[in-house]
Homo-oligomer: A and B are copies of this chain.
Amino acid sequence: MSLLVVGTVAFDAIETPFGKTDKIIGGAATYISLAASYFTSEINLVSIVGSDFPEEAIAQMNDRSINTEGLQIIEGEKSFFWSGKYHNDMNTRDTLVTELNVLENFDPVLPDSYKDSEYIMLGNLTPSVQMRVLEQLTKKPKLIVMDTMNFWMDVAMDDLKDVIAKIDVLTINDEEARQLTDEYSLVKAARKIRAMGPRYLVIKKGEHGALLFHDDQVFYSPALLLEEVFDPTGAGDSFAGGFIGFLAASDDLSFDNMKRAVIYGSAMASFCVEKFGVENLEELNREEVNERVKQFSNLVQFTAEA
């Protein structure tokens, strides 16, 4: 099934205890699309870059069957740039630089061929921009997944809630779930968020895994235990890409398959953090992905009786 991905395509400069990068390719939609490309080959990207963005990077996306017809390239302007430094625990980071550049006036225009996409992934962006994407769809999609962050809760809560009311799955982290609902208990927070609209909620807990809520059901995916996490940048986006990519490919929205999608998403996030930037997401094959999913199964599998 066709998958529409909207989000940033950008440059990042990252510093972690393991090293430091120059400007490298990043952006939510980049991670999402690359992660999804291991499952489905009908990916329609909507984003914006400046003319400083390398043609090879776009060509590499096309090589992975990512359709970039909806990627606006603004002549003479610069791409979105983010720079950050992770602390020793890798769970917290300082933003060093944010240059919006082309993102400042981003009006996402969907090519006609995108307008009947069946799976929609709204990567983290200004809520009103996410809404503009939904408004251009000509056919009710099978599933709309949305990612967001605490920043939009601080500066655009009303717009954010308008989008949340229109989606099927919200993916946020535990602190954001608490901020959005004023509830410390994730069980209570999940109930409140689902009452805002989404039938499903994924709460991402970083190195502590991810939770999927639906009706009175809960599913928990652990995070794989890695020797080292080199660079957490893009982990949440890789999760989202694996999650919706797997669903778009299998076109099965049963709860059992949603659980599977959470595991495939977690697997893609675990690959992402093993190297800097998108490096690891460009080199995998589907067998490696399946092998990693088996590791998740081994990690939690037990029988209650001997």
Chain A positions within 8 Å of B, measured between CB atoms, are: 88-89, 184-188, 205, 208-209, 211, 218-222, 225-228, 250, 252, 256-257, 259-260, 263, 290, 293-294, 297, 299-300, 302-304, 306
Contacts and interface: CB of A to CB of B under 8 A. Distances in A.
B208 A256 contact: no
A87 to B, nearest CB: 11
A89 B184 contact: yes
Given A187-B227, A256-B306, 19 more contacts: A185-B227, A205-B208, A208-B208, A208-B209, A211-B225, A218-B299, A220-B299, A220-B300, A221-B300, A221-B302, A222-B300, A250-B306, A257-B306, A260-B303, A263-B302, A263-B304, A293-B304, A294-B304, A300-B300
A248 B299 CA distance: 24
A227 B299 contact: no
B227 A209 contact: no
Count chain B CB atoms within 10 A of each CB in A257, A290, A304 and give the residue with the most: A304
A305 to B, nearest CB: 8
Nearest to A213: B225
B260 A306 contact: yes
Contact of A220 (B188, B225, B252): B225
Contacts of A221: 300, 302
A123 to B, nearest CB: 25
